[in-house]
Amino acid sequence: MTLFDMTGKVAVITGSTRGIGLAIAERMAEHGAKVVISSRKADVCDQVAKEINAKYGAGKAASVATNISSKENLQHLVEESNRIFGKIDVLVCNAASNPYYGPLAGISDDQFRKILDNNIVANNWLISMVVPQMIARKDGSVVIVSSIGGLKGSTILGAYAISKAADMQLARNLACEYGPHNVRVNCIAPGLIKTDFAKALWDNPDNLKASTSRTPMLRIGIPDEIAGAAVFLGSAAGNFMTGQTMVIDGGATIS
């Protein structure tokens, strides 16, 4: 258990009341970490934290409602996490936005800016707020949840795919900047996962069949199949990995 043990670590996970973020929070708590649950709705955050505490032990989870589009909200998330648990060892930037499906010619300026601001700029804000304490301790792990959309062209996910490709480069740049301080920055790039966020891509049986029929595993993924990679990156098991993108897609990008 020691290689993947997260006992004594504090992990902040954005967008962690459902889907991939929730799965990551639950698995990190299972592996010993204290976790901060964060999304826009305070009541939902509180409920998820309550359920994790009931399952894994009192004091294992706390909730801090946060809108990632607000720099002030993100600063509050960091300050409250530090106040409650005393530190942040692992940061998972999972929350993201995608208000538009379709060709880039049809996207509005506001939609494009929202995607870039929430999926790239907000990540850089939050990482910049958390990293100084990691540098001071000479230890820390940052995980950005990207997407295989950032590795392929798309006729319907253009702006989102651009933002996810940029997240991979953000991780590479920050890995170079923070590596000398023993702070690691990596990405996870999931394929199609059965989440509410990606519902437009799998809810239609024809769309789902078209997507999965071209993959070696012939199926859609589930959130828990992404969580293990986050535990790896947040624990001693991932201590020598930085600047990388872990692709977890059932083979979609190799077929």
pLDDT higher than 90, residue 167: yes
Q: Are 167 and 119 in contact (CB under 8 A)?
A: yes
Query: Are 51 and 252 contacting, i.e. CB atoms less than 8 angstroms apart?
Result: no
What are the structure tokens assigned to 110, written together?
Answer: 């506001």
In percent, the amount of the chain with pLDDT more than 90 equals: 87
8-state DSSP, 120 = I
CB within 8 A of 61, min separation 6: which ones?
Answer: 25, 29, 34, 35, 36, 37, 48, 49, 50, 52, 53
Residue 143 forms part of a structural domain: yes
Number of domains in the chain: 1
Residues 6+ apart with CB under 8 A from 165: 146, 149, 150, 151
pLDDT digits (tens, 9 = 90+) for 7-17: 999 999 999 99
In a domain, 71, yes or no: yes
Question: Which residues is 188 bridged to in the sheet?
Answer: 145, 246
* 160 is a domain residue: yes
Secondary structure of residue 138 in the 3-state scheme? coil
pLDDT at 166: 98
Identify the band that residue 78 occupies on the pLDDT scale cut at 50, 70 and 90.
very high
218 occurs within a structural domain: yes
The chain-wide mean pLDDT, for the chain, equals: 95
Summarize pLDDT for 40-73 with one digit per residue, the tens. 999 999 999 999 999 999 999 999 999 999 999 9
In whole angstroms, what is the distance from residue 74 CA to residue 77 CA?
5
Q: In what order do the strands lie in the sheet with 183-190?
A: 61-63, 34-38, 10-14, 90-93, 140-145, 183-190, 245-248
The pLDDT value recorded for residue 96 is: 96
**Residue 41 is assigned to a structural domain of this protein:** yes
198 pLDDT tier (thresholds 50, 70, 90): low
* Residue 120 lies inside a defined structural domain of this protein: yes
Query: Which three-class secondary structure string do you get for 28-78?
Result: HHHCCCEEEEECCCHHHHHHHHHHHHHHHCCCCEEECCCCCCCHHHHHHHH
- The single-letter DSSP state of residue 6 is -
Q: Tell me the whole-structure pTM to 2 decimals.
A: 0.95
Q: Would you say residue 91 has pLDDT above 90?
A: yes
Residue 66 falls inside a structural domain: yes
Catalytic residue among 56, 100, 160, 178: 160
**Cβ(148)–Cβ(252) below 8 Å:** yes
* Pure H helices in 179-223: 199-202, 205-212
8 Å CB contact between 191 and 148: yes
Which domain does 49 fall in, by range?
2-250
Is residue 255 a part of any domain in this protein? no
160 is an active site residue: yes
Looking up residue 98, the CATH number of its domain turns out to be: 3.40.50.720
